[in-house]
Structure 1
Amino acid sequence: MTIPTDLSLHGFIATAPELSKPDSKDARFFARVGVEHWRKEADGSFTKLDPTFHNLVMYGASAKRAYARFRVGDQFVASGYITEYEKTWNEQTVQREQFVAKHIGHDTTWTRYSVDRTPANQPDPPADHLTGASEPPRVVGL
């Protein structure tokens, strides 16, 4: 049996995330994201190149959770797929693409956080809990 895989994208949130239809099942998360690029040189060193910027969207309950958790500058890892669409500006039609994230999380290489292991069937915690402002109590001596 083969391992099921999706495309992945890792980068940073470049614009303030937007949430449309927040009271609907069709909620849509949107943000422009930046992707860093590097070039390996002959001597083994790396040269940082200009980042590229792309559209990232999510839908449904995942969109609402992403909107509550992500801010400008956050590093993320997402899996999903790319879709193309047409956009008309000044009577000219342009082909565009966007990354549709099915799953997204903060990149553990760059982000410090605590893990809430409350069973998944519990309601989402209040928004102030999502900011990580307070840490859970530590258990010592186990």
Structure 2
Amino acid sequence: MIHFILASHGTLAKGMYESVKLIAGEIENIHIITAFVDNNDIKGMVCSEMDSIPAEDTVIAVTDILGGSVNNEFMNYLSRERFYLIAGMNLPLLVQLSLTVGEGDDIDGAIKELVHSPEAAPVYCNERSEQAEDEEF
């Protein structure tokens, strides 16, 4: 079974999941961690969520900021089998994860493909607009 954990400073993870549901529908086995909202014990929050997931299950954790306290706490689980950690939460990435990654897939390969896909990357629209104008002339 695959479990998704969305974890962020504040309520970003909750808001992201609400947006994913609008676009892609409900995700089974979703865990949301909103750090520093009601509880400052990020270590305890992460430990509690990870302990609630059977060791034989797959965990895909997505955090908001690489090197932030939330992401750093999940780094402690990198040695766990079937644990995948992605930093840099964004809506296109979460939608693609929810729609494309399933049980029995090459999850490592799928994640690598998703994080390097143009759809998951930010785009500076001013620059893109200027390039389009240059191409028109």
Looking at CA atoms only, which structure, 1 or 2, has the larger radius of gyration? 1
TM over 0.5, yes or no?
A: no
What TM-score, normalized to structure 2? Answer: 0.23
Higher helix proportion (structure 1 or 2): 2
Is the strand fraction higher in 1 or 2? 1
TM-score (norm 1): 0.22
